[in-house]
A and B are shown apart, each in its own frame.
Chain A
Amino acid sequence: MADIFQSIAPRPAPVRTEGFVPWVKRNLFADWKNGVTTVLLVALALYMMPGLGQWGLMQAVFAPDPNACQAARGTGACWGVIAEKWRVIIFGRYPYEQHWRPEIATVLMVAALIASCVRWFWKPWLAVMWVAVLAIFFGLMGGGVLGLQPVRTDLWGGLPLTVMLATLSIFLAFPLAVGVALGRRSKLPAIRTVCVVYIELIRGVPLISVLFMASFMFPLFMPQGMSIDVLVRVLVGITLFAAAYMAEIVRGGLQAIPKGQLEAADTLGLSYWQTQRKIVLPQALAMVVPSMMNNFISIFKDTSLVTIVSLYELTGALSLALNSDVEWRPFKIEAYLFITAIYFAFCFAMSRYSLWVEKQVSAAKSR
Chain B
Amino acid sequence: MSDAIIQFEKVNKWYGNAFHVLRDIDLTVARGERIVICGPSGSGKSTLIRCINALEEYQQGRITVDGTVLTDDVKAIEAVRKQVGMVFQQFNLFPHLTVMENLTLAPMWVGHLPKAEAEERAMQQLQRVQIPEQAQKYPLQLSGGQQQRVAIARALCLTPKIMLFDEPTSALDPEMIKEVLDVISELASQGMTMLCVTHEMGFAKAVADRVILMDQGQIVEQNSPHEFFNNPRSERTKDFLSKILGH
Contact = CB atoms under 8 A, between A and B. Distances in A.
Interface in B87-118: 88, 90, 92-96, 105-106, 109-110
A279 B92 CA distance: 11
Given A260-B90, A266-B55, A267-B55, A283 B96 contact: yes
A22 interface: no
B59 interface: no
A365 B94 contact: no
Contact of B158 (A268, A286, A365): A268
A268 B106 contact: yes
Interface string A11-34: 000000000000000000000000
A267 B141 contact: no
Nearest to A279: B94
B37 interface: no
Contact of A274 (B85, B90, B109): B109
Contact of A266 (B81, B93, B154): B81
Contacts of B140: 365-366
Interface residues of B, number: 26
Interface in A328-367: 364-367
A282 interface: yes
A74 interface: no
B81 A264 contact: no
B194 interface: no
B53 interface: yes
Contacts, number: 64
B55 A367 contact: no
Contacts of B85: 267
Contacts of B92: 258, 260-261, 263-264
A278 B84 contact: no
B14 interface: no
Contacts of B54: 266
Given A260-B88, A366-B141, A268 B55 contact: no
B203 interface: no
Nearest to A264: B92
B66 to A, nearest CB: 14
Contact of B86 (A267, A279, A282, A286): A267
Query: Do most interface residues of chain A lie in helix, strand or loop, or is the interface mixed?
Result: helix
A260 B155 CA distance: 15
B155 to A, nearest CB: 7
Given A268-B158, A364-B138, A286 B110 contact: no
A267 B53 contact: yes
Interface residues on A, range: 20 to 34
B82 interface: yes
A258 B90 CA distance: 11
A364 B90 CA distance: 21
Nearest to B79: A269
Nearest to B105: A278
A256 interface: no
Nearest to B84: A267
B155 A269 contact: no
A269 B81 contact: yes
Interface string B8-42: 00000000000000000000000000000000000
Given A260-B90, A269-B81, A282 B96 contact: yes
Interface in A256-300: 258, 260-261, 263-264, 266-270, 274, 278-279, 282-283, 286
A28 B82 CA distance: 62
B78 interface: yes
Interface string A217-235: 0000000000000000000
A305 B244 CA distance: 70
A87 to B, nearest CB: 48
Interface of A: 258, 260-261, 263-264, 266-270, 274, 278-279, 282-283, 286, 364-367
15 contacts: A260-B90, A261-B94, A264-B88, A264-B94, A267-B84, A267-B85, A267-B155, A268-B81, A268-B106, A268-B155, A269-B78, A269-B158, A278-B109, A366-B141, A367-B138
Given A267-B85, A268-B105, A364-B138, 10 more contacts: A263-B88, A264-B88, A266-B55, A266-B81, A268-B81, A268-B110, A269-B81, A269-B158, A365-B95, A365-B138
Interface of B: 53-55, 78, 81-82, 84-86, 88, 90, 92-96, 105-106, 109-110, 138, 140-141, 154-155, 158
